[in-house]
Structure 1
């Protein structure tokens, strides 16, 4: 599959049997191909297609508002830089940030399997240590796992405790898993009409705008990468994006900086009535509601998509999760790297790496000496751009036919699509790409954190270029209200 094939596929999934929409693909230029990073997977194809679809959707929204048609350009190299934006981030010229706790990573189990732990948040780390019954150094954790735990048993025990881990499975193991079968029964993304709403004369898309999303209001209830990338994408096409965090919830500082560009940031505590009331007030004037909590978590506080559609007819709700809203793992906590491990992606990369180096483990379970993930958080970034693309598609449908809409995406659905693209035999021979190699993809901005150097938007719109109108700010800088 080429980048062009992938973009065409995405666009027509969202616009089936729509000749006018299909014609818009003639306005897209794609340059480059895989492998742009050392991987057997077509990560560049995934990146350019997801970002290109979002860019083209923004261009079509601008045309819907009376603007002229415009060309959209995507370069695979720039798209891959955007997929590694957190890796290239720097503040005041400092070195890139370390995003991982030492206990986050891969550990060999007693039965020769590998398990990945995710311990970047303190409560996840302490929960893992309680299950293992050991100290918090990496050596102590490795010793406890190697001596006391078989892989599948530890995977199940940590999941039962509500913690974040994944057994490194083979693609065949994953395909036979009930959760994989549930994911396979879903489309790559869903855009579902969930309520009636008349065409609204107040809809910003019914008036001219200098930028594609001028005048549109987005509530962003997300953290880490996938959801924040969706909100950031809507921001760099002109939306007023208000990030809402719980004051008690942990964050990862570099990701707040990278993915907070273009957004305002407020806090509301949804555990108390006053916080919920403030969010309801914001919802009544919002166009898009993006959330990245586990399925059902916000519904328990009264913010299900159906409830939001009743409260604000015409809203576009976007739900992002790890393993999809179907199957036995629908409420399981997960991150990009864990989905890679569970679904066979890490296995495939690891086996290819082992074969190329002519080394292997004697274990019957793992024919490699150490696991190897994708060279970027590709599932996170792709899912974020797909969420933004689908949200803009739903906004266009709202402007044409009314209605309230629900968009669903997940890391597992995105990972499945990547796996269906096929692999590259020599993909891991591609050279590593440093920050110096992508210097022309970077931009700088003065922020409360200092002078931030980060990857610029990768999609290039001929007439309405993507840019960040606001710098990133610390969590809770702004009041939880809309600007006039």
Structure 2
């Protein structure tokens, strides 16, 4: 069967979200762009185009001019590495990994990957292994474990570990089967409400929409960043006691204001309820059940604010035995067969292959744009159909979708572009972290070009209130 073109993948996403008519988007350029056997450029082009075309459709329905989203596959693929293409005050500012994070061989020959960027996850892994915090000590301790056994023990301890599987092993696993049974993007009506008219025409396509962004790391923040690029009022909500990966904020915080609330206290919950009662979108990406446990489950929000769009990210999806398991892009790549498949495609013996990672956090970034597209599709549908809506995406489901796009050959020799080669794709300006040079948004609209009106700032820099207040 022929592999879908980027255009065909885009149209399938559009129709799957319940949107009718032709997709107002043009895709240009060719793949591959990055050294991978997976079609990362095709995936990037499709998801960025879907989100940008939905922005164009909202603006048109508000009375703006009809316009087509213009997406270049190379630019979109590079935006899947946006956290890599950063400079602060002229110095490189890549996201740093913890010293013991990464892949290790276990005593049975199977590899496991540890995600220890959050201090409590690092401490928990070392406690489980009973060793010092060096790569040598961790490697020695893991040789006393079988890979699947350590993965399970870590999950039971609330830690972030994945054993490497082949794609065939993942397909046979109950969680792999649960993920395969669901579409990558799920949009569900969860409550009754009259149609919510789109706001009157404004200068920017999403101006007038309010988005609460309770996310961290990459995928969820990319969704909020995308909506902010087209004018949405995005308020990022964090808490001082929660760990965060601050290295990513100069990239993913562009266009947002940032407030701090402690949901362990009634005052914090009351403030969030007040904000949610006036929000169009409630975006959250914490472990399944964590935000709901504070009284902000989708059904609670739909009762509080009929017509709200709840947008939710998880690692492995809401169904299956791993439905509540913690995870990150690198772990899902490992567990669901991407690391093994890449190694084999690069020439490794399937029985002895060491993990080979994708050249970017493709599951994170693709999920972020799918979340943004699903959110916008739900806003369009609530204007026509009414109702409150739940939009769900999982990293594992996005991985399954990426697999369905097919593979490419001969791409491993491609270099990963250096920042000095990006030229006009970069922008420069002030930020709360220093002078920022970063990648522009790849979802272009000719009549209303995207831009971030606000610079990224440290967590909690603003009051917990909407900009228009």
Kindly report structure 1 stretches of 4+ aligned residues shifted beyond 4 Å.
none
Secondary structure of the 1:461 match is coil
Q: Secondary structure, in 3 states, of the residue corresponding to 1:230?
A: helix
Conserved? CA contact 1:114–1:366, under 8 Å: no
- The CA deviation at 1:97 is 2.2
Q: Which residue of 2 aligns with 1:14?
A: 17
Find the counterpart in structure 2 of residue 179 from structure 1.
175
| CA displacement at 1:414 relative to structure 2 | 0.3
1:266 and 1:477 in contact (8 A); partners too = yes
Alpha-carbon distance between aligned partners in 2 of 1:384 and 1:432, rounded to the nearest angstrom = 22
Distance 2:41 2:444 in 1: 17
Task: Write the distance in 1 (CA, Å) between the matches of 2:120 and 2:60.
Answer: 47
Could you tell me how far 1:461 is from its partner in structure 2?
Answer: 0.3
User: Which SS does the other structure have where 2:84 is aligned?
Assistant: helix
Tell me the distance in 2 between the aligned counterparts of 1:173 and 1:270.
40
Quote the residue 2:352 is aligned against.
Answer: 367
Instruction: Check whether the contact 2:218–2:368 (CA below 8 A) recurs between aligned residues.
Output: yes
Residue by residue over 1:290-320, the C-alpha shift from the partner in whole angstroms, topping out at 9 and shown as x without a partner, is: 0001221111111010110010011000010
Where do residues 109-120 of structure 1 align in structure 2 (5 Å cutoff)? 109-120=106-117
Is the contact made by 2:31 and 2:74 (CA closer than 8 Å) also made in structure 1? no
Structure 1 counterpart SS, 2:435: strand
Residue 64 (1) aligns with residue 61 (2)? yes
1:402 maps to which residue? Answer: 386
Moved more, 378-387 or 181-190: 181-190
Q: Counterpart in 1 of 2:192?
A: 196
Question: Is contact 1:391-1:407 (8 Å) kept?
Answer: yes
Deviations 1:215-247 (A, max 9, x none): 110000000000000000110111000000021
Count of equivalent residues: 465
- C-alpha separation between the residues in 2 aligned to 1:412 and 1:33? 26
Quick check: 1:222–1:228 contact (8 Å CA) kept in 2?
Answer: yes
| Structure 2 contact 85–438 (Cα < 8 Å) conserved | yes
Give ranges in structure 2 of 5+ residues lacking alignment: none
Q: Does 1:469 align with 2:453?
A: yes
Partner in structure 2 of residue 164 of structure 1: 160
For 2:347 and 2:155, locate their aligned partners in 1 and report how far apart those are by CA, in whole Å.
29
User: Which of 313, 316, 325 is the aligned partner of 2:309?
Assistant: 316
Instruction: Report deviation, 1:353.
Output: 2.0
| Distance in structure 2 (CA, Å) of the matches to 1:32 and 1:466 | 20
Contact 1:52/1:459, CA 8 A, preserved across alignment: yes
Would the aligned equivalents of 2:287 and 2:324 in 1 still touch at CA under 8 Å? yes
Cα distance in 2 for partners of 1:93, 1:423 equals: 37
Q: 1:328 aligns with which of 310, 321, 324?
A: 321
State whether residues 234 and 255 of structure 2, in contact with CA within 8 Å, keep that contact through their aligned partners in structure 1: yes
Tell me the TM-score normalized by structure 1. Answer: 0.94
Is the 2:95–2:248 contact (alpha carbons within 8 Å) kept by the matching residues of 1?
Answer: no
Whether 2:337 is the aligned partner of 1:344: answer yes
Give the CA deviation at 1:433. Answer: 1.6
The residue matched to 1:400 in structure 2 has which SS? helix
Match of 1:49 in 2: 46
Measured against aligned partners, the alpha-carbon deviations of 1:154-187 in whole angstroms (never above 9, x if no partner) come to: 1111111110010000111100111111111111
Q: In 2, Cα distance between the equivalents of 1:424 and 1:309? A: 44
Moved more, 28-37 or 343-352: 28-37
Q: 2:74 aligns with which of 74, 77, 98?
A: 77
Any unmatched runs of 5+ in structure 1? none
Q: Once structures 1 and 2 are overlaid, which stretch shifts more, 183-192 or 48-57?
A: 183-192
- Aligned-pair distance for 1:10? 1.1
How do 1:93-172 and structure 2 match up within 5 A?
93-146=90-143, 148-172=144-168
Q: Distance in 1 between matches of 2:121 and 2:369?
A: 27
Q: State whether residues 196 and 314 of structure 1, in contact with CA within 8 Å, keep that contact through their aligned partners in structure 2.
A: yes
- Superposed CA RMSD in Å reads 1.2
- The answer to whether the Cα contact below 8 Å between 2:199 and 2:208 also exists between their aligned partners in 1 is no
| Contact 1:41–1:427 (Cα < 8 Å) also in 2 | no
Equivalent of 1:297 in 290, 300, 305: 290
TM normalised by structure 2 equals: 0.97
> 2:416 aligned with 1:432, yes or no?
yes
In 2, the alpha carbon distance for the partners of 1:243 and 1:237 equals 16
Cα drift, residue 190 of structure 1: 1.0
Counterpart in 2 of 1:240? Answer: 233
1:417 is paired with a residue whose SS is helix
Deviation at 1:432, TM superposition (A): 2.3
Deviation at 1:337, TM superposition (A): 0.7
Shift of 1:272: 1.0
